[in-house]
Amino acid sequence: MPFCGDGNKDPNEECDDGNEDPTDLCPPNCTKSKLLVWYEFDGDGTNSGMAPGYDGMMDAAVSYIAGKHRQAAQCAGTGHGVTIQDLGSLLQANPDLTIGVWVREESLESWSYLLDFRGNGGGWKTYQGTTASATFTTCASGTGSFSACTSFDYMEGVWHHVAWRYAGTGTNSGEGAPLELYLDGELVKTLANDMDEALINGNLLQDGKLCAGANGGTPNYQLDDFKIWGRTFGPMGQCEVVAGGTWDANNMTCTLQ
Ligand SMILES: [Ca+2]
Ligand SMILES: [Ca+2]
Ligand SMILES: [Ca+2]
């Protein structure tokens, strides 16, 4: 009898890759994960996700070193970056979205931009590092007058999983949602958005940027497994699908692999 997990796509299945990996394109329930963009950074910026035409364009200064999973993109020094062409259009078509990435910060010498797809009144940008502590800041803007930032601290020198969860229903004012920030599979901060202003809207920059260099200093960090899903997940999925961990429902904690 055919079954989900036998490696063959049967009529009642969207996919079946025969493995038990919850984080890939075809999770063990045989329903496609809506993983649109997936940069594994194993020597290039090829998109292993479901959205064709969204390969990352790597600046020449980006190099590769041993990463969380095989290789990682090395974002050290200035003059580098990964351009995600037409990211604004992709996000506007999927305003209910999750973005996740593994980050390892080697040293904190200045501000630098890890992820930038903010326009004039839309999207969000992250600032990585300060001179004093391993602070990770996200600043968002949206329709109306929405503009807010939040930060959390983490330990440098080790891999952390960082994710943003945004359950928008559209790109107009009133169709937005709070922006939730996850560290290592657990919710650590929420940018409140009481008027549901849309962070994903027509003001987004056309092209997104990763690894976007420094603001007057010298960043030194690595990225691996950058992913964008065209959907959001509950706490268990946020831990297991997005961060690749194991969710303990009794204690509401996520243990990473
Ligand atoms: Ca099957
Ligand atoms: Ca699978
Ligand atoms: Ca990798």
Report the separation in Å between the CA atom of 118 and the middle of ligand 3, taken as the mean of its atom positions: 26
Q: For strands 208-210 and 82-84, give the pairing.
A: antiparallel
Q: Please spell the DSSP secondary structure of 195-226, one letter per residue.
A: T---SSSTTS-SSEEES--BSSS--EEEEEEE
Q: Which two tokens stand for residue 83?
A: 């351009």
Report the separation in Å between the CA atom of 103 and the middle of ligand 1, taken as the mean of its atom positions: 35
Taking residues 225-245, what's their average pLDDT? 94
Report the separation in Å between the CA atom of 170 and the middle of ligand 3, taken as the mean of its atom positions: 32
Q: 41-50, 91-100, 113-122, 195-204: which has the minimum mean pLDDT?
A: 113-122
pLDDT at 110: 59
- Who's near 156: CB < 8 A, 6+ residues apart? 105, 106, 107, 108, 134
Q: How far apart are CA 120 and CA 151, in angstroms?
A: 21
Report the separation in Å between the CA atom of 28 and the middle of ligand 2, taken as the mean of its atom positions: 6
Report the separation in Å between the CA atom of 24 and the middle of ligand 2, taken as the mean of its atom positions: 5
Q: Which two tokens stand for residue 54?
A: 């969204």
Report the separation in Å between the CA atom of 35 and the middle of ligand 2, taken as the mean of its atom positions: 12
Taking ligand 2, which is a single-atom ion, which protein residues have CB atoms under 5 Å away?
17, 19, 21, 24, 26
Residue recorded with tokens 């351009």: 83
Report the separation in Å between the CA atom of 14 and the middle of ligand 1, taken as the mean of its atom positions: 9
8 Å CB contact between 255 and 246: yes
Q: Which two tokens stand for residue 249?
A: 């429902």
Residue recorded with tokens 């962070």: 199
pLDDT at 71: 98
| Element housing 88 (H / E) | helix 87-92
Share of the chain above pLDDT 70, in %: 93
pLDDT at 61: 81
Which of the ligands is closest to the CA of residue 11? Answer: 1
Report the separation in Å between the CA atom of 244 and the middle of ligand 1, taken as the mean of its atom positions: 23
Which of the ligands is closest to the CA of residue 67? Answer: 3
Report the separation in Å between the CA atom of 12 and the middle of ligand 1, taken as the mean of its atom positions: 8
Domains and CATH numbers, the chain: 37-234 (2.60.120.200)
pLDDT at 216: 59
Which of the ligands is closest to the CA of residue 27? Answer: 2
Q: How far apart are CA 44 and CA 104, in angstroms?
A: 18
Taking residues 48-66, what's their average pLDDT? 92
Report the separation in Å between the CA atom of 204 and the middle of ligand 1, taken as the mean of its atom positions: 40
Q: Which residue has the higher pLDDT, 159 or 257?
A: 159
Which of the ligands is closest to the CA of residue 241? Answer: 2
pLDDT at 211: 85
Report the separation in Å between the CA atom of 21 and the middle of ligand 3, taken as the mean of its atom positions: 16
Which of the ligands is closest to the CA of residue 17? Answer: 2
pLDDT digits (tens, 9 = 90+) for 178-232: 999 999 999 999 999 999 999 999 999 999 999 876 565 567 889 999 999 999 9
Q: Binning pLDDT at 50, 70 and 90, where does residue 132 land?
A: low
Q: Which two tokens stand for residue 175?
A: 């169709």
- Flag whether pLDDT at 44 surpasses 60: yes
Which of the ligands is closest to the CA of residue 20? Answer: 2
pTM: 0.92
Distance linking the first and last C-alpha atoms of the chain: 33
Q: Binning pLDDT at 50, 70 and 90, where does residue 76 land?
A: confident
Which of the ligands is closest to the CA of residue 46? Answer: 3
Q: Please spell the DSSP secondary structure of 106-138, one letter per residue.
A: EE--S-BEEEE--BTTBSEEEEE--SSS-EEEE
